[in-house]
Structure 1
Amino acid sequence: MSGEISIIGSVILALFLAGYLGQQYLPPPKPRVIGLDLGTTFCSVGVFLPGSGEVEVIADEEGRKSIPSAVSFTSTAVLAGYEAMDVADSNPQNTVYDAKRFIGKIFEPGLLEQESARYPFQVINNNGSAEFVIFTNHTFTVSPEFIGSRLLLRLKKMAERQLGVPIQKAVISVPAEFDERQRNYTVRAANLAGLEILRVINEPTAAAMAYGLHKVDVFNVLVVDLGGGTLDVSLLNKQGGMFLTRAMAGNNKLGGQDFSQRLFQYTSERVRQQFGITPTLKEDIYHLRQAVEAAKLNLTLHPSASITALLHLHTHDGSESPEGPAAVRFQAMVTRELFEELNEDLFQKILVPVKTVLAEGHLEKEDVDEIVLVGGSTRIPRIRQLISEYFGKEPNTSVDPDLAVVTGVAIQAGIMGGSWPLQVSAIEIPNRHLRKMNFS
């Protein structure tokens, strides 16, 4: 009997030794499950790398780690991401973006009209569901999940190009407030792209995993997600490896686009003061917006930035600028202090949903163990300052806020794929009584 035990022990030891040697000297297997972040304004894809235990956010051919959530229809092709944005100005009515705002939602006719008024493309109500009207060689409609599927297909192809293997399985993130129908329609979008979804994970939970909070002893986690168009604040309660979303609040009309708009309005007025004409030509507005957006990003890192744009200013009757040539070069310096002054009232609005989730979750601000930042707009120094002043401590900034969600989803994809080294899985406890407070 002791001899048999000894043999079994030797076999087990040999298996462990073989596994260790394989880990050390053999190339790790390719990941077969990808993590997808289908965002409102940008989306991205990541993988958990077996062996190293690191996450790789996969870049496109130009090295960009996220692509715009836009799809454009032409007479010959369906373009997604940057390719869609390249033709958006010349093809506005057939370039659809923000489709995530519509996916799986049931709308009252008046509400859908109100929501769609801000877009250059046409949105119609089909028995309560939104559809987008496309005018190319013929007129047809597409659903929000079809738009999502074209973006997910683009991400799938980026992953396959990088990994060199076909990809058929994925984990995908959704906002915590998405109901069952919105989650199902997001999964349907992935199915249309040829992907089987192994798990749907809430975006705040994914962000918490990216920061490694599923592996440490923290209890109350506040996730502030401020992207290009929306603000979402979630309060998570963690016990062991389980996350419960205790409260949610937000503002679906507040984001980086609004901060850029304030700077754009200021810049347009500077153009009027300098040349006597406010920019009205579509190409002038486009070039000025591009310059303003670049300046906003620079002001995150530097105390001042330059706004430079070549403008073809015309009066309303089509004549040239009184300054002479139709093409003029506009240049102005703006400071971070000015940018903050222009947006201070908007920045203050960020604290409204923060206070709401604490009240809904029956917590004092001192009870929050970790403050996690998600979304590119949380890079703005004044916003970080406001949050740290309110809580009396610095938010966790150890992860790129643009890539926090996709990093967490990729970790969950590694768990679902059984990748080594094994990770602690985050289990989400559904909160059936949860409701989201929205402020605008």
Structure 2
Amino acid sequence: MDPPAQIPCSGNCLVHLHSFSGHAWLLRRICPFLQYPGPLGIPHFLITQTNNQAILLSHIEIITLHFLLKKATIEGLGLPARHIVAILPASSNTTHFQTQLSAGASGAAMRILFFMARPVLAASYYQSLTPGHRTVLVFELGVEIFEVSLLTEDENLKVKAAVSDLGCPLFNFMASELPRCIGIDITGDASGLLRIREACERAKNALCLGSGTADVMFERLGSKVSMQINREWLVWLNLNHLHRGIMRCLMEGGVRREAVHEIVLAGASTNIPEVRQVLRQCFRRQPFRCDIDPENIVELSAMQYVNDVSARYNIPLFGLRLFNFGLYSI
């Protein structure tokens, strides 16, 4: 009898906890090494299209290309794709990025009417448990995102601090240790960094499928080095990474943990008991807002918001979830 087929991990597990967000973090770091000089000094990037032809595009042109792909998908469902609400992580919802997204959308004959931060949507779905002013920590952890946000509310919810740019802890460790073992510096070596990331993911896959240990191997300039890891150590590393994100967000927001009134959970991975234990160790008394399945809370709130705005202005609207958009996703 043939052995049972190995089912690939969905990414929603303690081993792969930071794989996707870590990859997005790495792409942001190596993009400056991959750019080419373009007209008027505007950096261009080599993009491989679906027909395997490579072209040089600016950042805005890449965003436009991404919007065109989204537009084709929406219109293929028979829905209008003219006016949209952009739903962003709080850490990406900056004026600079909003300007870039608006320019890219315009190139695709689309218009962004509103920008909404994901933690604001998550927190606004629940009525306040605290009369008057409240401080809310939104902890979102899913396959595609890890973000800790601190919100305050008097009349409206406002983002006070947001932390998401932490990368993958296994990659961070290996990118420091492996090159040091063979005496080379790969700080500006995009190819070397990507190889370490691939080696880390291969080791994670082996541990996720049941191996007791796994080797992270790296070879560069004729030298080869390997480090062995086990599942227990990797899970500890991943969970400690969550704690670091929480404490950094509180520090950047200038808020003591005792001053947080409630914790809103978002993202499928917040249903993992070990993840909730990390949160409970940080916030022993605060209530966890998770009556609605955290996996669906942002989408439900976004749907409600888009429908309300569409009815108020009497125009068809479509909500687009934008994680690592444009340059970092194609």
TM range (shorter): 0.5 to 0.7
For the structure 1 residues 376 and 139, does the alpha-carbon distance in structure 2 shift closer, same or farther, using more than 3 Å as the test? same
In the aligned structure 1, how far is the partner of 2:62 from the partner of 2:70?
13
In the aligned structure 2, how far is the partner of 1:123 from the partner of 1:374?
39
In the aligned structure 2, how far is the partner of 1:182 from the partner of 1:381?
35
In the aligned structure 2, how far is the partner of 1:234 from the partner of 1:285?
30
Say which SS state the counterpart of residue 223 (structure 1) adopts: strand
For the structure 1 residues 345 and 180, does the alpha-carbon distance in structure 2 shift closer, same or farther, using more than 3 Å as the test? closer
Residues 1:350 and 2:261 aligned together = no
Residues 1:244 and 2:154 aligned together = no
* Amino acid across the alignment from 2:43: E
Residues 1:258 and 2:169 aligned together = yes
Residues 1:365 and 2:257 aligned together = yes
For the structure 1 residues 366 and 164, does the alpha-carbon distance in structure 2 shift closer, same or farther, using more than 3 Å as the test? same
In the aligned structure 2, how far is the partner of 1:158 from the partner of 1:399?
29
Partner of residue 59, structure 2: 144
Aligned match for 1:164, one of 50, 75, 78 = 78
Identity of aligned residues (%): 23
For the structure 1 residues 282 and 181, does the alpha-carbon distance in structure 2 shift closer, same or farther, using more than 3 Å as the test? closer
Aligned match for 1:200, one of 106, 115, 128 = 115
CA offsets 1:45-80 (integer angstroms, 9 cap, x no match): xxxxxxxxxxxxxxxxxxx9xxxxxxxxxxxxxxxx
CA offsets 1:365-386 (integer angstroms, 9 cap, x no match): 3443331234566566544322
Give the paired residue count: 271
For the structure 1 residues 345 and 314, does the alpha-carbon distance in structure 2 shift closer, same or farther, using more than 3 Å as the test? closer
Kept in 2, the 8 Å contact 1:370–1:396? The answer is yes
In the aligned structure 2, how far is the partner of 1:283 from the partner of 1:348?
26
Say which SS state the counterpart of residue 60 (structure 2) adopts: helix
* Amino acid across the alignment from 1:133: F
Residues 1:305 and 2:210 aligned together = yes
In the aligned structure 1, how far is the partner of 2:152 from the partner of 2:90?
14
Gap runs ≥5 in structure 2? 1-9, 11-22, 179-190, 313-330
Partner of residue 70, structure 1: none
Q: Deviation of residue 389 (structure 1)?
A: 1.2
Q: Deviation of residue 172 (structure 1)?
A: 0.7
In the aligned structure 2, how far is the partner of 1:233 from the partner of 1:376?
15
Say which SS state the counterpart of residue 201 (structure 1) adopts: strand
In the aligned structure 2, how far is the partner of 1:376 from the partner of 1:264?
28
Residues 1:122 and 2:122 aligned together = no
Aligned match for 1:133, one of 20, 45, 54 = 45
Aligned match for 1:418, one of 311, 324, 327 = 311
Q: Deviation of residue 195 (structure 1)?
A: 2.0
Residues 1:388 and 2:301 aligned together = no
Gap runs ≥5 in structure 1? 1-63, 65-95, 102-114, 268-279, 299-303, 319-331, 420-440
For the structure 1 residues 402 and 200, does the alpha-carbon distance in structure 2 shift closer, same or farther, using more than 3 Å as the test? same
In the aligned structure 1, how far is the partner of 2:58 from the partner of 2:119?
26
For the structure 1 residues 119 and 281, does the alpha-carbon distance in structure 2 shift closer, same or farther, using more than 3 Å as the test? closer
CA offsets 1:198-243 (integer angstroms, 9 cap, x no match): 211123212324xx22x55553321234578986433222346x22
Q: Deviation of residue 187 (structure 1)?
A: 1.9
* Amino acid across the alignment from 2:245: I
For the structure 1 residues 123 and 206, does the alpha-carbon distance in structure 2 shift closer, same or farther, using more than 3 Å as the test? farther
Kept in 1, the 8 Å contact 2:140–2:146? The answer is yes
In the aligned structure 2, how far is the partner of 1:152 from the partner of 1:259?
33
For the structure 1 residues 193 and 344, does the alpha-carbon distance in structure 2 shift closer, same or farther, using more than 3 Å as the test? same
Say which SS state the counterpart of residue 355 (structure 1) adopts: helix
* Amino acid across the alignment from 2:86: I
Say which SS state the counterpart of residue 311 (structure 2) adopts: coil
Kept in 2, the 8 Å contact 1:131–1:141? The answer is no
Kept in 1, the 8 Å contact 2:199–2:217? The answer is no
* Amino acid across the alignment from 2:169: D
CA RMSD after TM alignment: 5.2
For the structure 1 residues 353 and 286, does the alpha-carbon distance in structure 2 shift closer, same or farther, using more than 3 Å as the test? closer
Kept in 2, the 8 Å contact 1:291–1:307? The answer is no
In the aligned structure 2, how far is the partner of 1:248 from the partner of 1:283?
30
Which has the greater radius of gyration?
1
Say which SS state the counterpart of residue 81 (structure 2) adopts: coil
Higher helix share: 2
Say which SS state the counterpart of residue 350 (structure 1) adopts: helix
